[in-house]
Structure 1
Amino acid sequence: MANPNWPVRLSSPPVTLRPLRRRDEVAWARIRAQSPMWFRRWDSTRPPNSPEPTMTFAQLVRSLNTRAKAGLVLPWAVDYTPDGERPRFVGQVTVSGITRGSAGWAQVGYWVDSQWAGRGIIPTAVAMATDHCFAIGLHRVEIAIRPENTNSLAVVYKLGFRLEGRRERYMHVNGEWRDHDMFVLTSEEVTESVLAGYLRRRSDQG
């Protein structure tokens, strides 16, 4: 199903979701080079003898945009604007596996630059992405997280996702097939927007 509404831009200052661009490569590479251990344990990898070719960053962006226009994925860059400064690229949120029809589901993945972690950037970004999924008619949003990834677990707990169960050897990560816990939110469970709920709870906590 084609997506006539892509590209999509979402914002809850100081956080913005916008389409990933080829010119993000420099910032993307710098972030990865500065904190390799921050990412290595959680990065997906190719299993042995995988037939898929390795893509350059430009090829990846082109492929994601093609798939986004086909309604299969929502590939966002995360921009953060500190007070009095210009927006800066700090991470990604990608909605993948978009399935329509009787399923109506999708899966969200995310990462953030280590120097900007803990500021509520990714919870805000994932909340906006989840609200958008429901706004376009999807029924179920999933987030798969390795059980020991405490930083990612904090995100889903802040947003009200519920633990559905563990999927053994679910995804190839850091060179091995790894177990993941599946967190889920369905449209019926949301009585206010995911973003509004997160911001309200954050405000209540001071």
Structure 2
Amino acid sequence: MRGDTSWPVTLECGDIILRPVRHRDKKVWSEVRRRNFDWLARWEASSPSPGVNLPTFAGMVRALNEQARAATALPFIIAERQPGLAAPQLIGQLTVSSISWGSAMMATLGYWVDQDRAGRGIAPTAVAMATDHCFRNLGLHRMEINVRPENGPSLRVVEKLGFRDEGLRPRYLHINGQWADHRSFALTAEEVPDGLLPRWLRERGGASGA
């Protein structure tokens, strides 16, 4: 049964905040992306059609907000409260997409985090927050994450959170100019009856994560 699909939604855990992406994020988002170009370029989605570019920031926000209103996506900014700064800082992005209802009740999740903030447990915390929201509030049954086999940091995120490796999908998505293999990882609500975030925080035990 479909749960509460109200949007916008903001989720918090300690200093980590997931909030809706906004048009006024453009300047900071663009700067973070520019600074992380080499860190992210290898994993960037691209168009298989020659001469067709991906949407502008405004186009991305508009499309994601339309999907959010239609309950087919959750477009979050990852923000972090940092010492000495009044406002939480934009440090990444997490999007729950391809939400399917009916007999599937599933979604796909993707994310990126500023390289300067990597290795601090931010990505797994954000993924766990979003997954719990989808399972508990939306009523979804399955969350899927697809990762390039060469993407070590993202592989560590899904492994730390206990997502099951469901195998290789050859030439699954068009990435950085070519069709690229991905490994699929998944988790169902029954596997985390008490929530993924509480489990992750217990297992992390205060130690620094990836």
* TM-score calculated relative to the size of structure 1: 0.94
Corresponding residue number in structure 1 for 2:70: 70
**What is the CA-CA distance between 1:121 and the residue it aligns to?**
1.0
Residues 54 and 180 (structure 1 numbering): CA distance in 2 closer, same or farther, change over 3 Å? closer
**What is the CA-CA distance between 1:31 and the residue it aligns to?**
1.3
Whole-angstrom distance in 1 between the partners of 2:157 and 2:3: 31
Q: Is the 8 A contact 1:3 1:69 kept in 2?
A: no
99-108 or 79-88: which moved more?
79-88
The match for 2:162 among 160, 163, 170 is 160
User: CA deviation digits over 1:1-59, x for unaligned, max 9?
Assistant: 99751001100010000000111111111112112110110011101348x66422112
Whole-angstrom distance in 2 between the partners of 1:76 and 1:168: 28
Q: Is the 8 A contact 2:26 2:57 kept in 1?
A: yes
Corresponding residue number in structure 2 for 1:200: 202
Q: Is the 8 A contact 1:2 1:71 kept in 2?
A: no
Percent pairwise identity = 49
**What is the CA-CA distance between 1:82 and the residue it aligns to?**
1.6
Corresponding residue number in structure 2 for 1:8: 9
Aligned length: 205
Corresponding residue number in structure 2 for 1:173: 175
Whole-angstrom distance in 1 between the partners of 2:182 and 2:96: 17
- Give runs of aligned pairs for residues 84-163 of structure 1, distance below 5 A: 84-85=84-85, 86-135=87-136, 136-163=138-165
- Give runs of aligned pairs for residues 50-65 of structure 1, distance below 5 A: 54-65=54-65
| Runs of 4+ more than 3 Å apart | 1-4
57-66 or 139-148: which moved more?
57-66
Whole-angstrom distance in 1 between the partners of 2:149 and 2:106: 22
Corresponding residue number in structure 2 for 1:37: 38
* TM-score calculated relative to the size of structure 2: 0.92
2-11 or 35-44: which moved more?
2-11
Q: Is the 8 A contact 2:123 2:157 kept in 1?
A: yes
CA RMSD in angstroms comes to 1.9
1:130 alignment partner AA: T
Q: Is the 8 A contact 1:2 1:69 kept in 2?
A: no
Whole-angstrom distance in 2 between the partners of 1:114 and 1:53: 25
Corresponding residue number in structure 1 for 2:79: 79
Q: Structure 1: 5+ residue runs without aligned partners? A: none
